[in-house]
């Protein structure tokens, strides 16, 4: 069992989607996340074990390598694609409640801002680490965040901004969320955002990269 789970983790780490995929070259012709996840389920390995002992391990390794500039956006996207392929096989177990997720995470790029590449990477990494992600998209206004936080009880919130002109909207969004749902936790990130800015606007956490955010979220439910 552990050998198969290690192989799946490797597929996620290196972005091997399925046997037909030519990427990465060193794994050409080998089974990918698609075939191996199916095989693991057929062999009776519990979906929860596949998630926590292989998919999440692979995703964590990518997150750390990305933070250390050892891999870049394209590699992370391939890993996320491999992860999503594996997740298709696990979806029925999520829906039946057999596989437990760590919690809910609402994310959006703030009002006025249309940049979504970084926000999407964050979403994929958080989802790949066992969280249910509610992605509100781009140009998300305070009332949309508030509605989502009211709908999804105990969800954590993530705000992304890429412009110095839109990061200022994080303050009113954070205030609106906290006014509507006292105790709600808001994390902020994006190229122009800093830890000082996070503190100044009353948000709860800042991370410069997806892995730091994942570590913050995991620590909240540990």
Binding site for ligand B1M (CB under 6 A): 73, 112-119, 121-122, 158-160, 162-165, 187-192, 207, 209-210, 213
Closest separation in Å from C-beta 201 to ligand B1M: 13
**To the nearest whole angstrom, how small is the minimum distance from the Cβ of residue 31 to ligand B1M?**
29
Q: Is the distance from CB of 212 to CB of 184 less than 8 angstroms?
A: no
155, 133 Cβ separation under 8 angstroms: no
Q: How far is the CB of 93 from ligand B1M (least distance, A)?
A: 28
Q: What is the closest distance, in whole angstroms, from the C-beta atom of residue 18 to ligand B1M in the complex?
A: 25
Return the SS3 of 27: helix
CA distances for 111 relative to 5, 52, 162, 221, 222, angstroms: 41, 35, 11, 29, 32
Q: Which of 161, 213, 168, 165 is nearest to 191 (CA)?
A: 161
d(CA 57, CA 25): 22
**Closer by beta carbon to ligand B1M, 113 or else 215:** 113
Q: Least Å distance between CB 28 and ligand B1M?
A: 27
Q: Smallest distance from the beta carbon of 138 to ligand B1M, in angstroms?
A: 7
Indicate the residue among 14 and 145 with the shorter CB distance to ligand B1M: 145
Beta strand pairing call for 104-109 and 132-135? parallel
Instruction: For ligand B1M, give the closer residue by CB, 13 or 113.
Output: 113
Q: How far is the CB of 126 from ligand B1M (least distance, A)?
A: 9
Q: In what order do the strands lie in the sheet with 186-189?
A: 132-135, 104-109, 156-160, 186-189, 205-206
Judged by beta carbon, residue 15 or residue 190, the one nearer ligand B1M is: 190
Q: Rg of the chain over CA atoms, in angstroms?
A: 18
The smaller minimum CB distance to ligand B1M, of residues 32 and 190, is found at: 190
CB nearer ligand B1M, residue 118 or residue 130? 118
Our CB check for ligand B1M shows the closer of 79 and 160 to be: 160
- Among 115, 111, 213, 118, smallest CA distance to 171 is for 111
> Of the candidates 182, 203, 178, which has an alpha carbon nearest to the alpha carbon of residue 193?
203
């Amino acid at each position: 069992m552990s050998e198969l789970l290690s192989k799946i983790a490797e597929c996620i780490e290196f972005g091997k989607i399925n046997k037909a995929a030519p990427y990465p070259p060193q794994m050409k012709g080998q089974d990918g996340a698609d075939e191996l996840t199916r095989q693991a389920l057929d062999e009776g390995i519990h979906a929860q074990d596949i998630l926590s002992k292989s998919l999440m391990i692979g995703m964590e390794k990518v997150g750390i390598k990305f933070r250390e500039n050892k891999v870049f956006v394209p590699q992370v996207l391939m890993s996320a694609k491999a992860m999503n392929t594996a997740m298709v096989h696990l979806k029925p177990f999520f829906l039946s409640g057999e596989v437990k997720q760590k919690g809910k995470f609402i994310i959006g790029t703030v009002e006025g801002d249309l940049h979504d590449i970084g926000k999407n990477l964050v979403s994929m990494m958080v989802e790949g680490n066992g969280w249910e992600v509610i992605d509100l998209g781009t140009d998300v206004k305070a009332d949309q965040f508030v509605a989502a936080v009211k709908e999804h009880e105990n969800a954590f919130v993530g705000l992304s901004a890429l412009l110095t002109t839109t990061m200022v909207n994080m303050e009113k969004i954070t205030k609106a969320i906290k006014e509507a749902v006292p105790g709600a936790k808001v994390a902020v990130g994006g190229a122009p955002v800093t830890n000082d800015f996070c503190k100044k606007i009353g948000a709860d956490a800042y991370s410069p990269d997806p892995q730091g955010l994942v570590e913050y979220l995991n620590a909240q439910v540990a």
